[in-house]
Amino acid sequence: MIIEQLKVGSLENFCYIVGDEESGQAAVVDPHGEIDRIMDLVEERKLTVRYIVNTHTHWDHVAGNEMLKKRTGASILSHPRGGVYRDGEVDHGDTISLGDLKIEVLHTPGHSPDSICLLVDKKLMTGDTLFIGECGRTDLPGGDSEKMFSSLFQVISTLGEDIEVYPGHDYGPRPSSTIGYERKHNYTLEPRTKQEFIRFMAEP
């Protein structure tokens, strides 16, 4: 299995190329921009992009969707609550197949109603739900600290300590981590009741 992490644009966005070596099929997650760079790597790895998947539809995660679709003919997939053009919907429990490789979709609202995480081969692409050392903000339109609490503590944290975390932005001291490391070192994942977490997220 191939996973490539590319930092693209000026907002520290991470775009991911997930590929199945055997079938040569790939998905590009959150193509913010720099489509030429993404395509160079896709071609170098001899992959065919079948899907463009958005972890949520804030503009910085979808800005390159159209251009990448034009270049590859790939189908754009996002959560039904998302606000931009898509060819297909993916929701909690769905899988996206690249040959025999399966990407599992987890609905993790909180940063936005349409936020999803993508789990493939013990690697979790977390979009703007969980960063290294931080979690996504919940004060933008559609944000919800109560839902973020459930997403972080009842969905993501329960996946297993050895799952690798691949965030949607390079906001931390390192580009990727593990759930075990984040549970120990990420101050947003310290044990809190739901009420405490909601108050914590409202602090300036």
Binding site for Zn ion (CB under 5 A): 58, 128
Shortest distance, CB of residue 171 to Zn ion, whole angstroms?
12
Which CB atom, from 57 or from 176, has the smaller least distance to Zn ion? 57
Q: Select the residue whose beta carbon is closest to Zn ion and give its number.
A: 58
Rounded CA-CA distance 24/99 in Å is 8
Cα dist from 127 to 14, 15, 45, 130, 166, whole Å: 9, 9, 24, 7, 8
Which CB atom, from 128 or from 182, has the smaller least distance to Zn ion? 128
Shortest distance, CB of residue 48 to Zn ion, whole angstroms?
28
Which CB atom, from 19 or from 82, has the smaller least distance to Zn ion? 82
Question: Among candidates 7, 13, 11, which has minimal Cα distance to 169?
Answer: 13
Shortest distance, CB of residue 140 to Zn ion, whole angstroms?
7
18: β partners = 3, 27
Shortest distance, CB of residue 13 to Zn ion, whole angstroms?
10
Shortest distance, CB of residue 128 to Zn ion, whole angstroms?
4
Cα dist from 31 to 14, 130, 152, 178, whole Å: 8, 18, 24, 23
Which CB atom, from 20 or from 128, has the smaller least distance to Zn ion? 128
Rounded CA-CA distance 149/21 in Å is 36
Which CB atom, from 28 or from 116, has the smaller least distance to Zn ion? 116
Q: Do the beta carbons of residue 116 and residue 94 sit within 8 Å?
A: no
The kind and range of the H/E element at 111 are none
